[in-house]
Amino acid sequence: MSRMMTLLALALTVGCANNGKNMDLDPFKDCNKFDKYMKNMARREVAWDWGIHHGGFGGIGRNDMMVMESGDMDGASSAPKSVSVSQGATNYSTTNIQEEGIDEDDLMKTDGTYMYAIAGGKLVISQAYPVEDAAELSQSEIDGTPNGIFLVEDHVYVLSNLWWNEEPNPLSGASTNWRDNGGSSLTVLDVSDRSNPKIIRESYFSGTFREARIIDGEIYIVTYEDLIIGEWAESRSDALKTIKETEYEDYQTLRFDNILDGSTWDSWNGPACGCTDTFASKQEGGTYLSTLSALDLSNPLGEIKSTAVVGRADTIYASAKSVYVSYVVQQDTAFTGRRVPQDSVLHKFDVSGDSPQYKATAYVQGVMPDQFAITEKDDVLFVATTDMQAMTSGLTSLEESDGSFHELDHIGGLGPEEALTAARYVGDTAYLVTWEIMLGDPLFSIDISNPENLVLGGELAITGWSDYLHPLGDEHLLAVGMDEDTSGNWHLAVSLFDVSDFEDPQLAHRVLLDAWSSEAQSEHHAFNYFPVTESLTLPSYASEGKSVLEVLSATADGVSEIGRVNLPDTMVDNEYYYCTNVRRSVIMDDMVWAITNSGMVAAELDAPENILATIEYEGIDPCIDTYGGSGWGWNEWGEW
């Protein structure tokens, strides 16, 4: 589903629009204050659940958590190669990332010799180079549903989710009291012997895994938990009784650690962070917790440090010094209980020290399409949004000082009756794309070199739309989206924009592929541009209804099709075809690997119809991770 549809699907939110009120968070003074606050929020949710949901017409929404007692709180492009392997490929592509030097979790990683991929609930390691030695080497069962991985030297870090009523099942054999609303886990494997990886750590969190980043040698993990206290009570009074019987520990993010010390497992369970390391707003709340946890990768078995905020976690952005956890708030409509996405809240965490620290909260009018709408440059925050009521888009610059954000400038009114579908910041320029089905796809350029004086440059209006923008040098942008042919048929489109003239961006070239969609439209990790070979590879659903890997040449002179990598019939599940789609790709020297949940296929980069090697995973059920919201299937918005 495109980012346009994602905007329209934003129905799960926290809080109501506060019309510019101070959104900064403060820490709780002690656990008694934390307990009092969370119980108050839980009671408000009961008022909503047993009002609107059970035939009432109360005016308090389930997520309209406002006003706590003031005494409750104190007022105060490609990732770096993970490992150097002498026998590996001379040049190889890595994870497509937003900010240089900040790695992002993805479904697979490579070191130029070996491929590490999630498939069928397992970590599968294969030799990929040299191609004549290509073979599957090992499979490691991972507790939970793997969602993403990192590769750092001889260790793989697997981020997984535990779904409803699924409890931790660590190799240590230890057990703990666990909530029935699932959770997440960090599994660390020593892969120095690729044929025999060894799990050395299993750490569980009571919240669902959202995203993770590696910044300056530390992994930062964002989890989110809806505590739903009293959700299944048979009456309002039963729900309130359940809340009364809770203790503050019932509201804290939990962690359950299992660490291999030599040949012995050490286990520990308790709160991920203390009450005084948890922050909340006087303006908004809820029984939601978003937790940011950090682990120093120089010591994979070391201490995990966490801090938490009361609120949701929808979109994650990271710079070299900060992690932003954002969510969308809603505005009342004329119909009781009916709400629309309205504004965005962004919590800033400082990650430059020994542990993550909450800094401040920004409140921006409008809704962001994805993480690329955000950037931090020279300590200034830039956020691109669409005002879903006025249906116009804009860009806001903000500066944080003394624990609060202050708006520096704003450009609005872009693309009337259109929604923001893509954004990208390149150097001192922001590029925004808006779209409306009858009007086409305007591309705007904005000079952000002076955050206090944002300058609108040119506007290019063309047919179709773009879902993702990718820099190609300093003067061009690649884009993937959709467009119509002369017969009115829609196609997957790859575009090249010439942005050398700030005031006059131009569509330099566009290729309409014989395909109707690509995961790269909603997941940038599926978009693989490799400047060394000037190649672009991305999965697509071809017009004949099969999944392929598109291979294109992409230079400043234009974009052209080279061919496709087709999967062998033995790797395709014809009944459940979506389980075996091409999801990722890796370019190694003069060949390209197409990666699926059932195996991998290598082909010549310049002649992708020529298959060089096939690795079919042994005993893997490709559909195991397709459901439940894992990285290989549907996400929380019902988006594939």
User: What's the pTM?
Assistant: 0.90
Looking at the fold, whether 517 and 638 belong to one and the same domain comes out as yes
What is the CATH number for 596?
A: 2.40.128
Residue type, 477: L
Cα 185 from Cα 159, distance rounded (Å): 6
pLDDT in tens, 52-93: 554 433 333 333 333 334 445 444 444 434 433 447 899 999
Average pLDDT across the chain, whole number: 87
pLDDT in tens, 575-633: 787 899 999 999 999 999 999 999 999 999 999 999 999 999 999 999 886 543 334 34
Higher-pLDDT residue of 478 and 338 is 478
pLDDT at residue 624 in the model: 83
Q: Cα–Cα distances in Å, from 80 out to 92, 221, 319?
A: 11, 19, 15
Half-sphere exposure of 500 (CA within 13 A, CB side): 5
227-236, 439-448, 535-544: which has the minimum mean pLDDT?
227-236
pLDDT at residue 190 in the model: 99
pLDDT at residue 295 in the model: 99
Mean pLDDT of 235-256: 92
Looking at the fold, whether 458 and 523 belong to one and the same domain comes out as no
Residue 104 above 60 pLDDT? yes
Give the pLDDT band (50/70/90) at residue 253.
very high
Angle at 611 between CA 610 and CA 615, to 5 degrees: 175
pLDDT in tens, 294-330: 999 999 999 999 999 999 999 999 999 999 999 998 7
Mean pLDDT of 338-349: 80
In the chain, how many domains are there? 2
Query: Does residue 393 belong to any structural domain of this protein?
Result: yes
379: containing domain: 366-474+498-505
Give the pLDDT band (50/70/90) at residue 20.
very low
Query: Does residue 92 belong to any structural domain of this protein?
Result: no
pLDDT in tens, 374-386: 999 999 999 999 9
Looking at the fold, whether 403 and 461 belong to one and the same domain comes out as yes
pLDDT at residue 622 in the model: 92
Cα 435 from Cα 369, distance rounded (Å): 12
Quote the radius of gyration of the chain (alpha carbons, Å).
24
Looking at the fold, whether 459 and 519 belong to one and the same domain comes out as no
Query: Does residue 346 belong to any structural domain of this protein?
Result: no
Give the pLDDT band (50/70/90) at residue 165.
confident
Looking at the fold, whether 426 and 524 belong to one and the same domain comes out as no
Query: Does residue 71 belong to any structural domain of this protein?
Result: no
Residue 274 above 70 pLDDT? yes
Looking at the fold, whether 559 and 640 belong to one and the same domain comes out as yes
Q: Do 260 and 170 touch, CB atoms closer than 8 A?
A: no
Q: Do 478 and 472 touch, CB atoms closer than 8 A?
A: yes
pLDDT at residue 23 in the model: 65
Cα 96 from Cα 79, distance rounded (Å): 7
Q: Do 575 and 626 touch, CB atoms closer than 8 A?
A: no
Query: Does residue 423 belong to any structural domain of this protein?
Result: yes
DSSP secondary structure letter of residue 73? B
pLDDT in tens, 361-373: 999 999 999 999 9
Give the pLDDT band (50/70/90) at residue 228.
confident
Which residues fall within 8 angstroms of residue 430, CB to CB, at 6 or more apart? 375, 382, 384, 395, 423, 424, 445, 446, 448
In 272-356, where do the E strands start and end? 278-281, 288-296, 304-310, 315-318, 322-332, 339-350
Looking at the fold, whether 535 and 607 belong to one and the same domain comes out as yes
Nearest to 277 by CA among 255, 310, 300, 245: 310
pLDDT at residue 284 in the model: 64
pLDDT in tens, 128-157: 999 999 999 999 999 999 999 999 999 999
Give the pLDDT band (50/70/90) at residue 439.
low
Looking at the fold, whether 447 and 524 belong to one and the same domain comes out as no
Query: Does residue 222 belong to any structural domain of this protein?
Result: no
| CA dihedral of residues 20, 25, 31, 32 (deg, nearest 10) | -30
Instruction: Name the pairing type of β-strands 145-152 and 135-141.
Output: unpaired
Q: Starting at the edge strand that comes first in sequence, how are the strands of the sheet with 218-226 ordered?
A: 25-27, 278-281, 304-310, 288-296, 218-226, 208-215, 103-104
Token pair recorded at residue 347: 């919590």
- Give the chain's count of helices (H) and strands (E): 3, 42
Q: Cα–Cα distances in Å, from 514 out to 135, 411, 484, 495, 602?
A: 32, 38, 12, 15, 22
pLDDT at residue 349 in the model: 98
pLDDT at residue 281 in the model: 87
pLDDT in tens, 529-562: 999 999 999 999 998 889 999 999 999 999 999 9
Q: Do 37 and 280 touch, CB atoms closer than 8 A?
A: yes
Output 616-621 pairs: Cβ under 8 A, ≥24 positions apart.
616/570, 616/571, 617/119, 617/120, 617/124, 617/136, 617/139, 618/136, 618/139, 619/139, 620/119, 620/120, 620/122, 620/124, 620/139, 621/120
pLDDT at residue 70 in the model: 41
Q: Cα–Cα distances in Å, from 228 out to 181, 330, 414?
A: 9, 20, 39
SS (H, E, C) 129-192: CCHHHCEEEEEEECCCEEEEEEEECCEEEEEEEECCCCCCCCCCCCCCCCCCCCEEEEEEEECC
pLDDT at residue 232 in the model: 73
Looking at the fold, whether 389 and 460 belong to one and the same domain comes out as yes
pLDDT at residue 51 in the model: 65
Give the pLDDT band (50/70/90) at residue 22.
low
A 10 A CB-CB count for 79 gives 20
Looking at the fold, whether 563 and 621 belong to one and the same domain comes out as yes
Looking at the fold, whether 517 and 635 belong to one and the same domain comes out as yes
Q: Do 137 and 197 touch, CB atoms closer than 8 A?
A: no
Mean pLDDT of 488-496: 96
Q: To the nearest whole percent, how much of the chain has pLDDT over 90?
A: 74
Looking at the fold, whether 464 and 519 belong to one and the same domain comes out as no
Query: Does residue 525 belong to any structural domain of this protein?
Result: yes
Residue 11 above 90 pLDDT? no
Mean pLDDT of 220-224: 98
Query: Does residue 529 belong to any structural domain of this protein?
Result: yes
Residue 406, classed as helix, strand or coil, is strand
Residue 41, classed as helix, strand or coil, is helix
Nearest to 355 by CA among 410, 432, 277: 277
